Structure formats: C-alpha cells, structure tokens
C-alpha cells in the first residue's frame, strides 16, 4: 500500500512547481509583456480539474477523521476545508479569465493579476500549513480504517499530466516542467 503521507508530500511538491510556473507567467504579465496564456490556462485547468477532484476530496475526509481523533485541531482543520472551497472558487474565476484571454477576448489586466496573485498566495499558504501542521499529526493519529476512507473519498483519476502518455493538452506544460527540473 502506498504511504498516503508520502504521496501527499509528493503531490504538494508537484503543485508547488506548477504554482512557480504560473507565478513566472504572472511576473511576465505584471511587467507589461505577453505571458503564455495557454500555458497558464493549462496549469489552472490541471489544478482545478485534477487536484480539486482527486486530491482535495481525500484531504477533506482525512481532515474530518483527524478532527475526530485530535479535537484540538478541529478549528484549524475546518479552516483548511474552507480554504479548499476558496481555492476552487478563485480558480474558477481565474480559469474563466484565462479562457477569455486565450480566445482574444478583452480581460482587464488588473483582474487577471489580482485573481492569479490571490490564487498563488492562498494555495501556497494552504499547502505549507498542511505540510507543517497537519500531515505529521495525521501520520500518527489516523488509523488504517481512516486511511481506507480517505482512499475511497475520490475516484482514482489517472493523472493527465504525469501518466506515461500525457493528454495532448498537457504536452507543453510537461515540457516546461521538464525544463525546470
């Protein structure tokens, strides 16, 4: 069986790399230059349609189980679950703005920049708190039965970016990630 804590750390590291790529494009945008909108959209699309459907639902169940086992963490865990909803909401807005930009529809620069900055700050802060405060406690407090509930919380979705044959949509994103390694 795969160690769920190690798996989450690996996924979080990967999400951080994607957020770094996104931030570099936002920096280009902020400098008044033309960012790679399709690349930005692929990053957001991946995080929204893979992470939000696979990773966060498992965490939500883990956090709920952990709150039962560690009542002193209940408020902190509730906030993290709430942050999942905020990240999803901001991600939806950013995705729509980037879709419009890719389609050459006018989108105010300040709107895209504000959404992207908010998304980056929330997501990074969220991951850091999970890694530092929650995953160590989950590793020691959750039972095999809890982890089984976590595993079953979301369907096993093949990763469209990391598979042996990435979806055509993600070839450029995968190339950019490889250049960063």
- pLDDT, tens only, 93-148: 999 999 999 999 998 988 999 999 999 999 999 999 999 999 999 999 999 999 99
The model carries a pTM of 0.89
Residue/partner pairs of 16-25 with CB below 8 Å, 24 or more apart: 16/124, 16/127, 17/177, 17/180, 18/43, 18/46, 18/47, 18/177, 19/43, 19/120, 19/123, 19/124, 20/180, 21/173, 21/176, 21/177, 21/180, 22/116, 22/119, 22/120, 23/120
Instruction: Tell which residue, 165, 34, 40, has the closest CA to residue 115.
Output: 40
CA distance 7 to 135: 11
Residue 142 has phi, psi (to 5 degrees) of -80, 145
Output the pLDDT for position 42.
Answer: 93
Q: Which CATH number applies to 4-180?
A: 1.20.120.520
CA distance 22 to 29: 11
Identify the band that residue 155 occupies on the pLDDT scale cut at 50, 70 and 90.
confident
CA distance 19 to 51: 13
Identify the band that residue 51 occupies on the pLDDT scale cut at 50, 70 and 90.
confident
């Amino acid at each position: 069986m795969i160690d769920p804590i190690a798996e989450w750390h690996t996924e979080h590291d990967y999400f951080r790399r994607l957020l770094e790529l996104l931030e570099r494009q936002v920096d280009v945008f902020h400098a008044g230059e033309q960012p790679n909108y399709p690349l930005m959209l692929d990053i957001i699309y991946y995080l929204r349609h893979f992470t939000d459907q696979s990773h966060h639902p498992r965490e939500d169940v883990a956090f709920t189980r952990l709150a039962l086992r560690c009542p002193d963490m209940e408020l902190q865990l509730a906030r993290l679950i709430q942050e999942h909803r905020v990240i999803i909401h901001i991600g939806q807005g950013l995705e729509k703005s980037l879709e419009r930009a890719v389609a050459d529809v006018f989108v105010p620069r300040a709107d895209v920049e504000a959404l992207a900055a908010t998304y980056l700050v929330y997501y990074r802060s969220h991951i850091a708190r999970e890694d530092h405060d929650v995953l160590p406690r989950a590793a020691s407090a959750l039972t095999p039965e809890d982890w089984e509930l976590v595993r079953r919380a979301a369907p096993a979705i093949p990763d469209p970016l990391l598979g042996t044959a990435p979806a055509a949509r993600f070839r450029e994103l995968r190339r950019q990630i490889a250049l960063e390694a």
